[in-house]
Structure 1
Amino acid sequence: MIDQIQNVGSLSKVTGLDSIATDAISSTTTSVGATPGSSTGVSFASVLGDMANSTVHNIKQAEVASFEGMTGKADTREVVDAVLAAEQSLQTAIALRDKIVSAYLEITKMQI
């Protein structure tokens, strides 16, 4: 299932959440002389792809940390930190999915 999620996020390369947020913020600002509606930055699909890749990366890191903890190569704190980061990423992805589905359902209810 992780591989299927990774295929969804294959729209762009893996980056950290900070750079995603920075790219998203910079893409929403318009430069002087830019026409409204013109593409001036990162696309919505690439931001979602980056977030999906980041989530998959965090989950894989947590899995590796768990195996290292079982073999004694990592201490408990490192394992807990990795698992909590993966859990937070997964909860964020689920909340985002729920919002997208909700918005889609609202759009389908609109009258033409």
Structure 2
Amino acid sequence: MAIGALDAAAAYGRAIKNTAPTFGTSDDSSTSVGGAAGDGGTFGSMVESMVGDTANSLRNAETQSAKQVAGKGDLIDVVTAIGAAETALDTVVSVRDRVVNAYSEIMRMQI
């Protein structure tokens, strides 16, 4: 199975369109105290948007995998979609870990 440069470029272009992040791209660049820019300018809306984008990336990876298994998909699209989903999931897990660590630190503070 030979993979040409044009096939790779086309798959990369499709992946960019399908997995482009949507959080922090609103026209108003209002920021909250934490400095996170999102739909409402709050940390909660940014996290909600990240989780939604991650879910979409995972669905896209599943769809591409199913197409490949059925013989209708391109292997490059599958690998790109899985890579994007893995990166998005790693990002969400890292943010979750940071939030849990911050909460633990706050709970240890003396009043």
C-alpha distance in structure 1 between counterparts of 2:43 and 2:92, whole Å: 15
**Which runs of 4 or more aligned residues in structure 1 lie more than 4 Å from their structure 2 counterparts after TM superposition?**
none
TM-score scaled by structure 2? Answer: 0.69
1:79 maps onto 2:78 in alignment: yes
**Corresponding residue for 2:101?**
102
**Whole-Å separation in 1 of the counterparts to 2:96 and 2:42:** 18
1:22 is aligned to 2:25 = yes
TM-score by length of 1: 0.69
Cα shift at 1:47 = 1.1
Aligned to 1:37: none
Structure 2 SS opposite 1:22: coil
How far has the Cα of 1:72 moved from its partner? 1.0
Gaps of 5+ in 2: 1-19, 33-39
CA offset digits 1:12-59 (Å, max 9, x no partner): xxxx52x41234x91228xxxxxxxxxxx5222111111110000100
Aligned length: 84
**5+ unaligned residues in a row in structure 1: which ranges?**
1-15, 30-40
**CA deviations over 1:82-104 (Å, ceiling 9, x no partner):** 00000000100111110000000
- Identical-residue share of aligned pairs (%): 39
User: Quick one: higher RCO (CA 8 Å, sep 6+), 1 or 2?
Assistant: 1
One-letter amino acid of the structure 2 residue matched with residue 92 of structure 1: T
RMSD of aligned C-alpha atoms? Answer: 1.8
Aligned counterparts of 2:69 and 2:87: Cα–Cα separation in 1: 22
Secondary structure in 2 matching 1:66: helix
